Amino acid sequence: MELFIFGLNEPEKICGSRDDPDDVCEWTGVKCNADGEVEDFKWSCKTENGTGTLGFEFLPCSMKTLRMFINALSGTIQLADLPGKIEVVYLYDNQMTGSLNFDRLPATVRTLNLSENKYTGEVSLENFPKCLEYLSLANNQLSGTICLTALSPAFESMYLDKNNFEGSLDFTRLPKSMRYIQLSENRFSGTIDLGNLPESMHILYVEKNALSGTVRVPPGLMVILYGNDELTVERIE
């Protein structure tokens, strides 16, 4: 854990002293379990003072929650190096770059928020942990096509808005638990079929893309579609 925080600005504010750190369970932002193992680390809202890089390989294997948002963290990350018990990761609103590989994300991850960074490249959504419920990659510079027909069965919320994703959208085989999808301000094109959405689905944002054709919106569903100039919307009563 020392090697992890030594990658951050002013680590002595976390551990007391760089040369002679306090016991890890006494560190600022750290929570331990009854056995003295680190389970939670929070280092957030430092804004421009929150500089540093992240070496996930230095996190303790007992870690379950990592919250490092609204900082100025930079560099790349290797999601495969996250601890094997990690469940919740909040890294939104930083300045991190590079590509994202989800294929070796630990199987325990339920919540992953990497929004408002500077990630680039294509991403695959097909090999997430089966227990993943919440994903936000909003407001990055990600590109390429996305596949929505092989998502994790526990998925409830997905935010992919404000990127450079393109291609068609297939909503016919979403997970039965899906409730909320945000795909606004990308470059998605073609027609969409909303006739086979899961009953749990409440809100779908797809505005400001390049969708076309005619879409029939089922009753009881909130769908935001403006900004698709070639799209005709019919609402089923």
Does residue 227 sit within a domain? yes
Residue 214, token pair as written in the block: 């005619």
Same domain, 162 and 217: yes
Whether the pLDDT of residue 210 is over 90: the answer is yes
- Give strand ranges (E) for 22-64: 30-32, 38-42, 51-52
214's enclosing H/E stretch is strand 210-217
Q: What is the mean pLDDT of the chain?
A: 97
Residue 73, token pair as written in the block: 């963290």
Give the percent of the chain with pLDDT over 90: 99
Same domain, 6 and 75: yes
Domain that holds residue 83: 1-96
CA-CA distance, 36 to 38, in Å (whole number)? 7
For residue 58, give the amino acid letter: F
Say how many CA atoms lie within 13 Å of 122 toward its Cβ: 8
Question: End of a domain among 96, 126, 150?
Answer: 96
The pLDDT, as a whole number, for residue 20 is 94
Q: Residue 57 has what DSSP assignment? A: G
No. of helices (H) and no. of strands (E), the chain: 2, 18
* CATH code where residue 214 lies: 3.80.10
DSSP secondary structure string for all residues of 68-83: --SSEE-S---GGGS-
Q: Looking at residues 11-30, what average pLDDT do you find?
A: 96
Q: Looking at residues 51-58, what average pLDDT do you find?
A: 97
Cβ neighbors of 221 (< 8 A, separation 6 or more) are 194, 197, 201, 202, 203, 204
The candidate with the shortest Cα–Cα distance to 157, out of 170, 139, 175, is 175
Q: Looking at residues 78-96, what average pLDDT do you find?
A: 98
Q: Looking at residues 120-136, what average pLDDT do you find?
A: 98
What's the domain count of the chain? 2
Does residue 116 sit within a domain? no
Question: End of a domain among 39, 65, 96?
Answer: 96
pLDDT digits (tens, 9 = 90+) for 145-158: 999 999 999 999 99
Does residue 110 sit within a domain? no
The pLDDT, as a whole number, for residue 108 is 98
The pLDDT, as a whole number, for residue 50 is 95
Whether the pLDDT of residue 237 is over 90: the answer is no
Does residue 111 sit within a domain? no
Q: Looking at residues 1-21, what average pLDDT do you find?
A: 95
Give the percent of the chain with pLDDT over 70: 100
pTM, two decimals, is: 0.96
Does residue 107 sit within a domain? no
The pLDDT, as a whole number, for residue 173 is 97
